Amino acid sequence: MGIQSALGGGMMTPLPPPGGLVEAFWDYERALMSNDVPALDRLFAPGEATLRGDANGLLVGHDAISSFRSGRGGAPRRRIVQTHVQTIDADHALIVAITELDAGGRGQQTQAWARLDGSWQVTAAHVSVPAPALDERIWRVVGAPLVPGSPDGPLAGETVAVKDLYAVAGQRIGAGNPAWLDQAPPEPDHAWAVRALLDAGAAVRGLARTDEFAYSLAGTNAHYGAPPNPRAPYRISGGSSSGSASAVALGHATIGLGTDTGGSIRVPAAYQGLFGIRTTHGAVPTAGLLPLAPTFDTIGWLTRAAVELRAVGDVLLPAGSASGSDQLVVVPALLGLAEADVAAAIGAWLPADTVREEWPADSLGDWLAAFQTFQAWEAWQSHGDWLETRLDTLGADVRGRFERARAVTADEAAAAGEVVDAAGEAVQELVGDRVLVLPSASSVAPRLGGDLQAARDATMRLTCLAGLGGLPAVSLPLRTAEGLPCGVCLVAAPGRDRDLLDLAVSLTG
């Protein structure tokens, strides 16, 4: 395919491409199609000013672009069908290429080229490809809508991304695992929470992806991929309510219905800049929900605004509500469990009248160990019969957790259960009638391909507290000094869900 010149330099006639540019362009195309990462690195300008953007977001700096290329496994196969050059001067030019993808559809690539130290290199690029009819990283099933809501009701006009653990009549529960989906029968009825939302006027947009059996906080499903994080591109979405969170963040739905056992609402809310609530254990019926660890499993949801979060609570939460003080309490030892940028963002957000007090933190490690042991025991009780001969159908991270769960003995579970009960009482006593302020997650969203286990372990030292006490927790979005999303979490006594939702509205204006 030949290269066509376009008008350049304000002249009325096209300027020819500068010498060597066309050859560099085709060198780039060959390197891209062969996934020759070192060659691609050489053809992109060094330094922190180099840019590459696509629908997922903007990468800034040569190193970030190189890291992205190294981890993606190659670009979609394509051919160039049109190429236009706009020459700026002897050392600068713009190239726009129209592409046809082997998978169908047309794309467009725009590159700014500069001659640096005698070699042509890309200084900025933007790539567009046809949007998929269904982004299978986010959705398993989607409709317009999949299930209509009642024509009247307080949530009329709202749309729900339902985590693929809930029963939706006529659909199967996929649980994030293809083998489970293959044997799952269609559900005869809606889950209680789904039915309540439909009766209130909300429509089900579709069934959203989850980590396998909800046993992860990452959102990196080994079978379907990682849902995108539009607020922090090229970073993980957070899980296990990953598809629901991404659908809300992207504007595909206004409500993300999820679950929270060890942080699966609070973590994606923090990573994606959303509002989220983990409800008091048992406050919202779990009928029609596939369990993970029933002692800790709770209903939760995500929205883009605090008023929407409260509107859903008006539908799903029981009418009565426990009451207490709105006094905020922060524990420096707990705040210090977060990375410095997250702790600084929360510290800057805290109202002036926030009480700072010291809590005994020596037992936190033992509490987390008991939480994880008892969670693992219940997870195997919930799914062990099916998984016993099917562990090889799981992704490596979730498989590792279930293999450890299989090894937990009844005596170990009983001992862990005693610690869980004592820890729950201690947490409730420490919180009292006030509102505890915590980081929703220990860090901003880790980059895709990074060490996710370390982030999980650090975050669960914080998120396990609400789980141990059966407490409600609301995550509010903040940003670090670098502009990345993070979350501050408000935790209160059991039954104070509505109080926390009201407080969230008042604190966010």
CB 21 within 8 A of CB 113: yes
Catalytic site includes residue 242:
no
Quote the CA–CA distance of 78 and 284 in Å, as a whole number. Answer: 50
Q: Which residues contact 366 (CB under 8 A, 6 or more apart)?
A: 419
CA-wise closest residue to 359 among 442, 426, 459, 280: 426
Catalytic site includes residue 264:
yes
Q: Is 33 exposed, middle or buried (0-12, 13-18, 19+ CB in 10 A)?
A: middle
Quote the CA–CA distance of 400 and 307 in Å, as a whole number. Answer: 39
> What count of residues does the chain have?
509
Q: Which residues contact 418 (CB under 8 A, 6 or more apart)?
A: none
* DSSP label at residue 12: S
Q: Which of 66, 216, 240, 442 is catalytic?
A: 240
Q: Which of 242, 264, 321, 442 is catalytic?
A: 264
Quote the CA–CA distance of 208 and 136 in Å, as a whole number. Answer: 9
Quote the CA–CA distance of 341 and 396 in Å, as a whole number. Answer: 30
Q: Which two tokens stand for residue 267?
A: 């973590």
Long-range contacts of the stretch 411-419 (C-beta < 8 A, 24+): 412/373, 412/377, 413/373, 413/374, 413/377, 415/370, 416/369, 416/370, 416/371, 416/373, 416/374, 416/377, 417/370, 417/374, 419/366, 419/367, 419/369, 419/370
Q: Which of 66, 163, 216, 321 is catalytic?
A: 163
Catalytic site includes residue 67:
no
CB 313 within 8 A of CB 219: no
Quote the CA–CA distance of 453 and 396 in Å, as a whole number. Answer: 12
Active site (catalytic) residues:
163, 240, 264
